């Protein structure tokens, strides 16, 4: 049987297949009762060891940290702790479901952190429904800073997610990296895919016309990172559910609307209309909107420039089926699905970037670190036989060097920018990252082999 990437299938069939992981998940989540647990890092050979790991011996490292707070990285696991903070107000595909219902997602994120990046991440779903506001989440992050080496903000509604990230990154009291994966993680992977797509079709980032369909957290983060990497945003047009963004659009209420940031620097001809009007002559479409199909029309794609690049990222169904986009004239099509070519998955970026930031004890994750990691990810396609073609613009998570190379790139950039407390060479960073990630894989394999993680085989067929 042909894979979904090689055949046209109906919307109903795609929806049926997209439900299978959820049916499996319900059984397996109940069986395992969660995805993460806390395990010791130290050896325990006898009960006498507790006099070292706890009282009275533990008082000695406590006193050393009291004299020099940086010693907390030497005597505790802070160096590898990341908090995954969410209020459950904008869970992907589910909306405002609250902190309790968001916890399976945050545990899943912690699992990806640990397996892919060797990071000890803790899910922290906070607040109650319709709470918390931006200032409360900012204060919460500041209060937990002593325990964690980094913060991953997750599934927080806009516009408060923008306010939280920007204020925390600019706050001089915050000494650890703060990252919003819905913005920065997606942006890193899109940038990587776009770098390779432009090389394949022979176009330049400073001359292309990009249409951004949707202006939520994902596309807002993508726009910011592309701008930082030298893309000419003046040539871009942004579209929301009402239509094209332009300066005199009455419902924007500038300058109080976060969308006004892009209005000031885009759509230089100040056109109005819908996404179809925006796509006339466009080189690239980046759509992060609502599930399709037929959100993006074939005749819209047909109006794009030759060798058009189409990123339609809605899940579970992209805004237009890839075969329809190709038939309408698109050369490269990327989606959020793993069963189509060119999957854009933010899990390709965040474990490696955090690994690099933690390994050099970076005080923040800069745009330049993200860009370095993105270019590192893009370069990996040259190492994969048969890749760097229209249907292979990105490596997959299975390629072993994906996270190691990004960690090294991000760590070296942090050192270059003088925001790293540990100065390691490229080889030292590579060796350290590989040892940590390989160790994480070995732990899982050992636990499964010895039955400490029991086997579950009752999958839904």
**Backbone phi and psi for residue 239, each to the nearest 5 degrees, phi listed first:** -130, 130
109 catalytic residue (yes or no): yes
From the list 19, 32, 54, 63, the catalytic residue is 54
Contacts of 283 (CB under 8 A, 6+ apart): 203, 208, 209, 210, 304, 305, 307, 308, 309
Q: Given 78, 81, 109, 432, which residue is catalytic?
A: 109
At residue 25, the 3 state secondary structure works out as helix
Residues 6+ apart with CB under 8 A from 13: none
Closest CA to 199 of 5, 369, 405, 392: 392
DSSP letter string, 339-385: TSSSB--GGGTHHHHHHHHHHTTBS---HHHHHHHHHHHHHGGGGST
| CA distances to 17, 30, 79, 282, 393 from 208, in Å | 36, 49, 42, 8, 18
Alpha-carbon gap, residue 369 to 174, rounded angstroms = 18
DSSP 136-179: HHHHHHHHHTTT-SEEEE-S--TTHHHHHHHHHHH-TT--S-EE
Task: Say whether 75 is catalytic.
Answer: no
Residue 73 near residue 118, CB atoms below 8 Å:
no
Tokens 């990296």 correspond to what residue? 177
Q: Which residue has the tokens 């800069």?
A: 366
Backbone dihedral angles phi then psi of residue 10, each to the nearest 5 degrees: -75, 160
d(CA 123, CA 113): 11
- Burial-class residue 323 by CB neighbours within 10 Å (0-12, 13-18, 19+): middle
Q: How many CB atoms lie within 10 A of CB 41?
A: 9
For residue 453, what is the DSSP state? Answer: S
Closest by alpha carbon to 359, among 441, 417, 426, 440? Answer: 426
Tokens read off for 359 = 């390994």
The token pair that represents 280 in the structure block: 């006339």
Catalogue the active-site residues.
54, 109
């Amino acid at each position: 049987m042909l894979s979904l990437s090689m055949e046209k299938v109906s919307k109903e069939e795609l929806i049926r297949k997209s439900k299978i992981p959820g049916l499996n998940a319900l059984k397996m989540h109940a069986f395992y009762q969660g995805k993460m647990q806390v395990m010791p890092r130290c050896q325990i050979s006898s009960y006498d060891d507790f006099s070292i790991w706890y009282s009275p011996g533990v008082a000695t490292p406590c006193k050393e940290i009291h004299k020099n707070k940086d010693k907390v990285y030497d005597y505790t696991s802070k160096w590898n702790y990341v908090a995954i903070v969410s209020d459950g107000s904008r869970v992907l595909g589910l909306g405002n479901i609250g902190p309790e219902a968001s916890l399976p997602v945050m545990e899943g994120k912690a699992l990806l952190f640990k397996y892919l990046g060797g990071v000890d991440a803790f899910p922290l779903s906070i607040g109650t429904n319709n709470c918390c506001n931006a200032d409360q989440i900012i204060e919460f992050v500041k209060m937990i800073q002593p325990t964690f080496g980094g913060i991953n903000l997750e599934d927080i509604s806009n516009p408060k997610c923008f306010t939280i990230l920007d204020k925390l990154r600019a706050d001089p009291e915050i000494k650890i990296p703060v990252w919003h994966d819905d913005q920065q993680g997606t942006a890193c992977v899109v940038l990587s895919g776009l770098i390779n797509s432009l090389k394949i079709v022979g176009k330049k980032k400073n001359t292309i016309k990009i249409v951004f369909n949707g202006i939520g957290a994902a596309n807002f983060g993508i726009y910011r990172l592309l701008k930082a990497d030298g893309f000419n945003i003046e040539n871009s047009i942004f579209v929301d559910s009402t239509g094209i963004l332009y300066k005199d659009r009455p419902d924007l209420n500038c300058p109080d609307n976060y969308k006004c940031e892009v209005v000031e620097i885009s759509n230089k001809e100040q056109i109005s209309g819908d996404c179809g009007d925006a796509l006339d002559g466009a080189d690239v479409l980046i759509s992060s909107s609502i599930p399709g199909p037929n959100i993006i029309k074939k005749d819209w794609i047909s109006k794009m420039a030759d060798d058009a690049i189409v990123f339609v990222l809605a899940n579970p169904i992209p805004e237009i089926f890839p075969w329809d986009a190709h038939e309408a004239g698109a050369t490269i099509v990327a989606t959020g699905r793993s069963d189509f070519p060119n999957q854009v998955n933010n899990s390709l970026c965040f474990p490696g970037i955090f690994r690099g930031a933690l390994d050099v004890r970076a005080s923040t994750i800069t745009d330049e670190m993200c860009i370095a990691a993105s270019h590192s990810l893009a370069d990996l396609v040259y190492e994969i036989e048969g890749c760097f073609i229209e249907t292979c613009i990105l490596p997959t998570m299975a390629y072993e060097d994906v996270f190691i190379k990004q960690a090294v790139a991000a760590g070296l950039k942090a050192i270059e920018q003088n925001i790293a407390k540990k100065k390691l060479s490229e080889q030292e960073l590579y060796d350290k990252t590989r040892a940590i990630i390989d160790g994480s894989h070995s732990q899982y394999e050992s636990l499964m082999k010895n039955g400490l993680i029991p086997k579950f085989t009752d999958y839904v067929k």
